[in-house]
Chains A and B, each alone.
Chain A
Amino acid sequence: MKQAPDRRRFLKVATCALGGGIGATVAAPAVSYLLHPVGRRTVTASSEPIDAIAADAIGAEPVRVPLRARMLRDAWSATSDVPLGAAWLRRDERGVHALSAVCPHLGCAVGFDRRAGEFRCPCHDSAFAVSGERRSGPSERGLDPLPLTIEDGRIMITWIRFRSGGSSREPA
């Protein structure tokens, strides 16, 4: 089993080099393959305003309205009439307002506590005024308003999913 140390050393280095080369040739494409979704919009909904509800159905007390997209592209699939999220609608002297039901803290769905007259997140107890203003709890900002228009007596809402966390409002 005795042989020249130089030869053995060469064999060891060559073996590791070949093995490393194979590994790198697989690893490099694998990483770009796995990171494909990063920075890509893999889920996109049709962007036109969504017909939510008749305007005269909305009063001073907030009403929860589900918002459905006409079309949703999700990676390979294309689906029609898909729920995207929900909005809380309410009317005051200045008109109708829409708030995203997504808690700005970590994305749970906020509910309306009638007795306390405020929005409450069921997860971490963030509380928000009827206007959406932040009252207490871990959320760093108030509920996110959604743009709306009223056409032929129907409330048309543009759905935006905002990034959760932080005090500034940015679309996700």
Chain B
Amino acid sequence: MYNPRVAVGDWLNERTGYRRALHVALEEPVVGGASFAYVMGSVLVFLLVMQTVTGALLAFYYSPSASDAWGSVAYLEDQVTLGWFIRGLHHHGASAMVICAGLHMLQVVIYGAYKRPREVTWWVGVMLLGLILAFALTGYLLPWDQTGYWATKVATGIAGETPGAGVEVQAALQGGNEYGNLTLTRFFALHVFILPALTFGLVAVHVMLFRKHGVTPRWGRSAAELERTTQPFWPDQLFRDVAAMAVAFAALVGWTLYTGGAGLDAPADPSSNFDARPEWYFRALFQMLKYFSGPMETVVALGAPVLIGGVLFALPVLDRGADRSPRRRVVALALVLAGFAATGALTMISFRADAADPALGEREVESERLARRARRLAREHGVPAAGGTAVYTTAPWYQARALWAEHCASCHSGDERKGPLIGPGYNSRAWIRGMLTTPSGDTYFGRTKLAKTEDAMPDAEATGADLDALIEMVYAESGAPDADRALASRGAEVFADQPCADCHERTGEDSSSGPNLAGRGSPAYLRSFIADTSQPRFFGTKHQMSRFVDELGPAELTVLADWVVWLRTATDDDVARLDE
């Protein structure tokens, strides 16, 4: 009977030979039967595929340049649909690979699977472990955030201590004399082209060698028993492999959801003081360096990885007996297990030391706050072309506050100030009330030279409703939208009857012995006032403030004036919120 599925299959098979390829790939006999002990290799291949897929997805949004890397990752993490999830899978996937590589190696060591004739398989495996760590090291830097930047600085710094050619080795790794664009393009090229190519090549060799020699069954089973219990790879072993992959995958997804992804620190800031910490799997090496100093430090930092790799490489040569029973291989097993234990112990000591340091905890809270702030600013305003840290300049009033700190703060804020206090509420009704009733009070002109002369303003004589009206009159000059015009007009009448009018003009730009009050507190008035208080309509010859028109440009004066206007309706909380 004609079966269309078979017909299409036949057509395709005739042209590709896919049935034979599938047969070769799947119908491998598993000597001694399928087992969950063998799943780790397949799980590692699965994780490698996951890293490749998620890595390719990340490349759709990532930009490897010192000015764009952090911004692109912040965009991916905080704005792209499920970007945090994809990046979280990739980030934690690296940890999963290290864990599974450790378990795989442990299983191979316990089963004695590195022994003749599988020495080359083992050596290729050790090289693959090195590649996994190289992936982790190069990938950590790519977001160009504080964590990655400083941790990788330590790693390249260690490479810079290579005897004889340290400077050259470090320059080759980091692409020049300092961290910059070339460091990122270099790490990116290594991470996404060179390391994957090497890894896929070595995995192919590793799997081919595995297929050549087959699985290494548990020790102490007779040849006849192994023969009798043999099962096919498909579906018996592959089912176990896929089940293990599903467990690993569920754990990876669960951990990614639980942690909310990889997280992203504040943009790399070479001027900051950051507590560099490597990823957890490098913590043992990190901790070990604390115990050595001087030339010994270099020896340990460079020597430890070489020693560990050397011992692993030499294992099949050191442990050569035919018997794979663990009882006959106590020395070899003890060596590897002691290595695992020492690594675990150092890792734990390192994490405990950090947990016991409250000052470090505070600094971490502060750096998390900075990271949140940087990411919020990036989301709301974008990252300026200057790159990562320039994101802070997009904060509201950034320029005004920087100018303020540089030019104004020493005289107008803090305990050491010499002029009137200017802060939240400046030129508000409450401020004006204080100014009129106690002009020589400490927060007003009390600290100026003017307050000690006979030119100092006397306390206002008006009280009650008259004072309220006067206050409204002064307040209305600022152009505040909530000013009560009727009350302000009444204030003008009170003003004319009081001594105020003896010293203050309140129209046009006429000069008087005190400042002309027309437009007082408005943006244009403040701009002109900050520029030059010695103008006749302001303080004239009695002025004490610097003439900022000589130091600041028109745009800067405008920004400062706008900032002072903003302060009128601001509270301490509003100002504090600017730093969140």
Answer yes or no: A114 CB below 8 A from chain B CBs. Answer: no
Complex formed: what's the CA distance from A32 to B81 in Å? 6
Chain A contacts for B83, CB-based, 8 A: 33, 36
Whether B71 contacts A11 by the Cβ 8 Å rule is no
Closest residue on chain B to residue A26 by CB atoms: B53
Which residues of chain A have C-beta atoms less than 8 A from B41's C-beta? none
A 29-66 to B, binary, CB cutoff 8 A, 1 in contact else 0: 11011111000000000000000000000000000000
- Chain B contacts for A75, CB-based, 8 A: 61, 72, 75
The answer to whether A1 touches B29, judged by C-beta atoms less than 8 angstroms apart, is yes
**A-contact bits for B370-399, CB 8 A (1 contact / 0 none):** 000000001001111100000000100000
Tell me which of A8, A36, A77, A80 contacts B235 (CB under 8 A): A8
**B230 proximity list for chain A (CB < 8 A):** 1
Mark A65-93 against chain B: 1 for CB-CB distance below 8 A, else 0. 00000000111111110000000000000
A25–B83 alpha-carbon span in the complex (Å): 15
With A15-B235, A76-B72, A76-B378 already in contact, the answer to whether A32 and B385 are too (CB < 8 A) is: no
B86 at the binding interface (Cβ < 8 Å): yes
B204: interface (CB < 8 Å): no
* Inter-chain contact A73/B245, CB cutoff 8 Å: no
Contacts of B82 in A (CB 8 A): 29, 32-33
Supposing A11-B235, A22-B246 touch, asked if A29 and B85 sit within 8 A by C-beta, the answer is: yes
In the complex the two chains form, is A78's CB within 8 Å of B245's CB? no
Does A19 lie at the interface of the complex (its beta carbon under 8 Å from any beta carbon of B)?
A: yes
CB neighbours of B53 from chain A (8 A): 26, 30
Chain A residues near B12: list those with CB within 8 A.
Answer: none
C-alpha gap A13/B464 in the complex (Å): 90
A-B contact count (CB 8 A): 88
User: Are the CB atoms of A77 and B71 closer together than 8 Å?
Assistant: yes
Number of A interface residues in the complex (CB < 8 A):
28
Which residues of chain A are near B242, meaning CB under 8 Å? 14-15, 18-19
> Does residue B202 face the partner (Cβ distance < 8 Å to A)?
no
Digit string of B210-250 for contact with A (CB within 8 Å is 1, else 0)?
00000000000000000000111011101100110110010
Q: How many residues of B contact A (CB 8 A)?
A: 41
- A20 shortest CB reach to chain B, Å: 10
Interface assignment of B467: CB less than 8 Å from any CB of chain A? no
User: Cβ of A74: which chain B residues have Cβ within 8 Å of it?
Assistant: 382
* Cβ contact within 8 Å between B29 and A21: no
A30, B75: Cα distance in complex, Å: 16
Alpha-carbon distance A8/B29, docked complex (angstroms): 15
Taking the nearest CB of chain B, how far is it from the CB of A9, in angstroms?
9
Q: Hey, which chain A residues are within 8 Å of B565, CB to CB?
A: none
Nearest Cβ on chain B to A43's Cβ, whole angstroms: 11
CB of A12 closer than 8 Å to a CB of B: yes
Q: Do A18 and B85 have beta carbons less than 8 Å apart?
A: no
In the complex with contacts A18-B243, A22-B246, A30-B57, A78-B394 CB distance below 8 A: yes
Beyond A22-B245, A22-B246, whether A11 also contacts B394 by CB under 8 A is no
> Inside 8 A of B86's CB, which chain A residues have their CB?
29-30, 33
Beta-carbon nearest neighbor of A37 in chain B: B80
Interface contact B383-A77, CB-CB below 8 Å: yes
A15 touches B238 (CB 8 A): yes
Q: Answer yes or no: B68 CB below 8 A from chain A CBs.
A: yes
Structural contact, B57 and A76, CB atoms closer than 8 A: no
The distance in angstroms between the C-alpha atoms of A29 and B58, with both chains bound, is: 13
- Assembly CA distance A11 to B89 (angstroms): 28
Chain A residues, Cβ within 8 Å of B80: 33, 36
Q: How far is the CA of A25 from the CA of B246 in the complex (A)?
A: 11
A12 x B57 contact (CB < 8 A): no
A162–B383 Cα distance when bound, in Å, is: 27
Alpha-carbon separation in the docked complex, A65 to B79 (Å):
35
Bound: A1/B235 CA distance, A: 12
- Least CB separation from B74: chain A residue: A76
**A1 in contact with B231 given A26-B53, A30-B86 (CB within 8 Å):** yes
| B235 contact set on A, CB distance < 8 A | 8, 11-12, 15
Determine how close the nearest CB of chain B comes to the CB of A79; give it in whole angstroms. Answer: 5
Partner of B246, one of A21, A29, A78, A79: A21
Contact at A77–B384, with CB atoms within 8 Å?
yes
Q: Mark B53-75, 1 if CB is under 8 A from A, else 0.
A: 11001001100000010011011
Query: Inside 8 A of B381's CB, which chain A residues have their CB?
Result: 78
Q: Check B239–A36 contact: CB distance below 8 A.
A: no
CB <8 Å contact, A79 and B385: yes
Contact B382 A73, beta carbon cutoff 8 Å:
yes
B384 touches A78 (CB 8 A): yes
Q: Are A78 and B383 in contact (CB under 8 A)?
A: yes
Residues of B31-67 whose CB lies within 8 A of A: 50, 53-54, 57, 60-61
Let me know if B382 and A78 touch, CB within 8 A. Answer: yes
Shortest Cβ distance from A22 into B: residue: B249
Contact B50 A77 (CB under 8 A): no
A75, B378: Cα distance in complex, Å: 10
Chain A to chain B: the 5 pairs with minimum beta-carbon distance, closest first: A78-B382, A76-B75, A76-B71, A11-B235, A11-B239
Question: Which A residues have a C-beta under 8 Å from some C-beta of B?
Answer: 1, 3, 8, 11-12, 14-15, 18-19, 21-22, 25-26, 29-30, 32-36, 73-80
Residues of B participating in the A interface, judged by any CB pair closer than 8 Å = 29, 50, 53-54, 57, 60-61, 68, 71-72, 74-75, 79-83, 85-86, 89, 230-232, 234-236, 238-239, 242-243, 245-246, 249, 253, 378, 381-385, 394
Interface contacts beyond A12-B239, A26-B54: sample of 5 additional A-B pairs, CB < 8 Å, sorted by A: A30-B57, A32-B81, A36-B80, A75-B61, A80-B384
Q: Could you pull out 15 A-B pairs where Cβ atoms are within 8 angstroms?
A: A1-B232, A11-B235, A11-B236, A14-B243, A19-B242, A26-B50, A32-B81, A32-B82, A33-B86, A34-B57, A74-B382, A75-B61, A76-B68, A77-B384, A78-B394
